[in-house]
């Protein structure tokens, strides 16, 4: 009997010494610790809100676990993986490419995005035709990045290669230095380049370097893989159910629609045409609870802010209202700037109210914009086709794939409102999203300049 009691005590002591799985401890503590970086592709602040593809993915994963997130942002990129290996964070969500060298230090989840490394130079300068052409200028890359790793590999074939590995900077900063002409070249991932080119059309892609690479979350090598397995299942599930594709569309589905000339023209019109219209866009936005920058983006897409604009179909004015819409909105003169902007704002709000309440932002706005262009009935037809195909009729990423089908008899004869040039509203929404981003970026830049000017005029404090 005494032996049995002793055995039970030993078993209890052993069971007490076995720690709970990591994922259970995280749930008890109530938070995940995730290392990331400040970048347009990962984690950034916009309108007092945190956004970014990595941020949204992490927040979704944390919500499924029922915990909150503490974000760790190292001073330099090359500290991200060491932060993981030292056990200072549970995993890294920082747009990390999967490389053989990194796989020695960490283990990666399944990929959530594919990117390619691109050699970037400034328009107007000689385009490098091969990587060794960069020895004629300054090439800078992020220290500890996959791009530095790639250059190290290429140096074995081309010993003359040279570059500077920069710490305490981000890829977006290096791209800006190329734009400013302060350095000649950098290497960046294609997703980062696509976002930067919206604001800096001077940036040009000279070469694609190497094969496409996967982006994934990085975890430490450890015996306890409970959290890793949960993350792996999460990534696989959102890939399969389409929610990952919808999120990628939100951040990247429209960013390459505008060309160099479009960006240049827009930049010129920002200075020449927009300023006197801003008070009218702001007033219409306030009255209709709409972002005035969104209204301005619509106005630019419709007319390039030209009040005398007339389309071949007879729509006219800043907001390009049809006769029927103008009459419905009480607009007597479509070429009157104030009436046109006010009427367009009221019309957009009227359409938006028709969108089913269950559809959330930003999908709600994108669908309202598509309706502004093609009509609410045709949007509903596209949503019907979307649902028939098994996709989600409440997600713009899915609906935009089905709108072009309205131009095909096989499909439009099966829906209520019939034929429509469905590609047009897709391009329309993509362009407005691009113009809106450019407007927000421009206005932030102008606000910063004004603040700096005020500070510079203030007397020095002795």
Round to whole Å and give the CA distance between 433 and 45. 18
Mapped onto helix, strand or coil, the DSSP state of residue 209 is strand
Token pair of 301 as six digits: 């897409």
- CB count in 10 Å sphere of residue 32: 24
For residue 243, give the nearest of 234, 252, 255 by alpha carbon.
234
Mapped onto helix, strand or coil, the DSSP state of residue 204 is strand
Token pair of 15 as six digits: 């069971």
Please identify which of the residues 54, 170, 249, 302 carries the catalytic annotation: 302
For residue 57, give the nearest of 289, 251, 223 by alpha carbon.
251
- CB count in 10 Å sphere of residue 423: 15
Token pair of 166 as six digits: 């920069």
Torsion over CA of 69, 244, 212 and 233, rounded to 10 degrees?
70
DSSP state of 290: -
Round to whole Å and give the CA distance between 10 and 16. 10
| 396, HSE (Cβ side, Cα atoms, 13 Å) | 27
Q: How far apart are the first and last CA of the chain?
A: 86
For residue 402, give the nearest of 385, 424, 427 by alpha carbon.
385
> Would you call 64 a catalytic residue per the annotation?
no
Task: Examine residue 362 and say whether the peptide bond preceding it is cis (omega within 30 degrees of 0).
Answer: yes
Numbers of helices and strands, H then E, in the chain: 20, 11
Q: Write down how long the chain is.
A: 462
Q: Please, which residues have CB within 8 angstroms of residue 355's CB and are 6 or more apart in sequence?
A: 364, 367, 368, 371
Round to whole Å and give the CA distance between 378 and 422. 8
Token pair of 198 as six digits: 């919206």
DSSP state of 403: G
Round to whole Å and give the CA distance between 338 and 276. 11
Round to whole Å and give the CA distance between 420 and 404. 8
- Asked whether the beta carbons of 323 and 336 are under 8 A apart, the reply is no
Q: Which residues are catalytic?
A: 302
């Amino acid at each position: 009997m005494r032996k049995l009691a002793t055995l039970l005590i030993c078993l209890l002591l052993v069971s007490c010494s076995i720690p709970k799985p990591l994922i259970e401890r995280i749930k008890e503590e109530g938070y995940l610790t995730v290392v990331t970086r400040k970048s347009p592709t990962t984690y950034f602040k916009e309108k007092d809100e945190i956004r970014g593809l990595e941020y949204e993915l992490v927040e979704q994963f944390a919500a499924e676990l029922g915990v909150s997130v503490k974000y760790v942002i190292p001073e330099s990129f090359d500290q991200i993986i060491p932060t993981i290996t030292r056990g200072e964070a549970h995993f890294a969500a920082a747009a990390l490419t999967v490389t053989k060298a990194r796989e020695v230090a960490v283990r990666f989840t399944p990929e959530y995005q594919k990117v390619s490394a691109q050699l970037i130079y400034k328009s107007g300068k000689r385009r490098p035709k091969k990587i060794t052409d960069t020895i004629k200028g300054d090439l800078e890359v992020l220290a500890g990045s996959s791009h530095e790793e790639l250059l190290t590999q290429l140096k074995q074939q081309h010993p003359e290669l040279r570059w500077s590995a920069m710490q305490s900077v981000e890829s977006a900063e290096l791209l800006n230095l190329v734009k400013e002409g302060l350095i000649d070249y950098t290497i960046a991932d294609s997703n980062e380049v696509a976002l930067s080119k919206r604001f800096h059309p001077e940036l040009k892609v000279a070469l694609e370097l190497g094969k496409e690479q996967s982006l994934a979350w990085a975890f430490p090598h450890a015996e306890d893989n409970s959290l890793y397995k949960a993350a792996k299942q999460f990534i696989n599930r959102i890939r399969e159910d389409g929610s990952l594709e919808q999120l990628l569309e939100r951040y990247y589905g429209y960013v390459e629609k505008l060309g160099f000339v479009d960006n240049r023209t827009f930049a010129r019109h920002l200075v020449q045409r927009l300023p006197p219209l801003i008070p009218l866009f702001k007033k219409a936005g306030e009255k209709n609870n709409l972002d005035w920058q969104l209204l301005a983006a619509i106005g630019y897409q419709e007319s390039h802010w030209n009040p005398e604009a007339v389309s071949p179909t007879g729509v006219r004015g800043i907001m390009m209202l049809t006769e029927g819409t103008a009459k419905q909105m009480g607009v007597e003169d479509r070429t009157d700037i104030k009436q046109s902007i006010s009427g367009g704002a009221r019309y957009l709000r009227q359409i938006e109210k028709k969108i089913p309440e269950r559809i959330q932002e930003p999908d709600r706005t994108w669908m309202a914009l598509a309706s502004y262009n093609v009509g609410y009935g045709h949007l509903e037809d596209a949503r019907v086709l979307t649902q028939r195909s098994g996709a989600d009729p409440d997600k713009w990423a899915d609906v935009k794939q089905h709108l072009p089908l309205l131009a095909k008899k096989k499909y439009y004869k099966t829906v209520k409102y019939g034929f429509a040039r469905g590609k047009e509203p897709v391009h329309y929404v993509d362009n407005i999203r691009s113009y809106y981003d450019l407007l927000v970026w421009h206005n932030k830049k102008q606000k910063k300049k004004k603040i700096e000017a005020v500070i510079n005029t203030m007397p020095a404090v002795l």
